[in-house]
Amino acid sequence: MPETHPVDAISQRMDLAGIADGLRAASSFLITAHINPDGDAVGSMLAMAHFLRALGKTDIVCVNDDPVPSIYAWLPGAQDVLSSDVKPADLAPDAVILLDAGKKARVGRAAEWFPPTAPLFVLDHHLEEHPDGVRCFVDPSYSATGEILVDLFLTANVPIDKAAAECLYVAIATDTGGFRFSNTKPRTHRYAALLLEAGIDAAQISSRVFEVMSPEKFELLRRVLDRMQREADGRLAYTYITARDMTEVCAKVEDLDGIVNFARNIMGVEVGILFRETDPQTTKVSIRASAPFNAAAFLAAYGGGGHKAAAGATVHAPLNTVRADIIERTIKLLGEGK
Ligand code: 5GP
Ligand code: MN
């Protein structure tokens, strides 16, 4: 495919007009996002499907390794997201679109569905120097991948209908913590206003996404709060969840969403950490931090990534080992003023 609008030929970065031209030139699409999809991943996949349909495309498949979390299951199109467990025999997309992640490794088994010959489009807002795609728009100045997609609709002159607006609003509202995090910029609010003008019910969406919690999540929260520890004169707070907790309270992975914020929200805390034992040899780490601590840079040493203020990693070591190591290094960095 000719690259009509290359911005940086080496990493194949281009502007959104170039992305839109590339999408217009294709006829069948596979859309995916990172594993354990959050509101931005789900909302962006569905908004991209709406965008392509508005361009007159009909052959569109959305796939993810993990199910759409129940708090997003009401979004228009959510019921059509396939699980990567069973690949349709006739699947032959001529374009693959990766959203809210810059590397195929973040997609899990769904990456096995990518035909080697189909160009990979990447639209993402994570800190990633070397995205995997051949047509990439990666810009951490956007609060959410959903905010990039609003820009794509505007650039391509595609009207945003109510269904697309609901998906985009969920994407942006969740990644900005309800327009409260430092990634919320004037553009974020301007685009949210456009979505309100498309007729969405923002109060109802906020209630579904931010307020209602499953009884299982409530039970997890009880345990997590009870175990919260503070270190470094209260500048670090951390807690943990074991695999046994998850089974005992019948929690799903989606019930973990937002729990780390309780560590970060304690007054004086600069770094909040949640450690989760996924199995006896694997620990998922989630960090929320305020500057100058760079959570993504810190977790890059453990094979993770994300943003300065919010990052994650999956570490192949037992919970106790990972917790001791990360707490020690965090305290040291806080002492050095980093
Ligand atoms: P969370 O802690 O909520 O899982 O993730 C926080 C941020 O870090 C999200 O933007 C997420 O995409 C990113 N992130 C989480 N886990 C990983 C990981 O294992 N690798 C990378 N590169 N990013 C991650
Ligand atoms: Mn995101």
Q: Does the structure show a pLDDT above 90 at 37?
A: yes
Q: Does the structure show a pLDDT above 60 at 56?
A: yes
- Whether the full predicted model's pTM is greater than 0.85, yes or no, is yes
Q: What's the gap in Å between 126 CA and the centre of ligand 2?
A: 7
Confidence of residue 128 (pLDDT cuts 50, 70, 90): confident
What are the pLDDT digits (tens) for 288-308? 999 999 999 999 999 999 999
pLDDT of residue 1: 44
Strand order in the sheet with 59-64: 6-8, 13-14, 135-138, 120-124, 95-99, 28-33, 59-64, 82-83
The torsion of the CA quartet 119, 123, 125, 127, rounded to 10 degrees, works out to 10
Within 10 angstroms of residue 103's Cβ, the number of other Cβ atoms is 18
DSSP 12-71: TEE-HHHHHHHHHH--EEEEEE-SS--HHHHHHHHHHHHHHHHTT--EEEEEESSPPPGG
* Domains, the chain, with CATH or none: 16-210 (3.90.1640.10), 216-336 (3.10.310.30)
- Crossing angle of the two packed helices 39-54 and 145-155, in degrees rounded to 10: 10
User: Where are the extended beta strands (E) located within 178-235?
Assistant: 229-231
288 within ligand 1 shell (Cβ under 6 A): no
The closest ligand to the CA of 128 turns out to be 1
Confidence of residue 9 (pLDDT cuts 50, 70, 90): very low
Residue nearest to atom 4 of ligand 1 (CA): 312
Average pLDDT over residues 180-200: 97
Ligand 1 atom, smallest distance to 285 CA: 2
Average pLDDT over residues 172-193: 96
Q: What share of the chain has pLDDT > 90, as a percent?
A: 93
Q: Which residues contact 215 (CB under 8 A, 6 or more apart)?
A: none
Angle at 44 between CA 38 and CA 47, to 5 degrees: 140
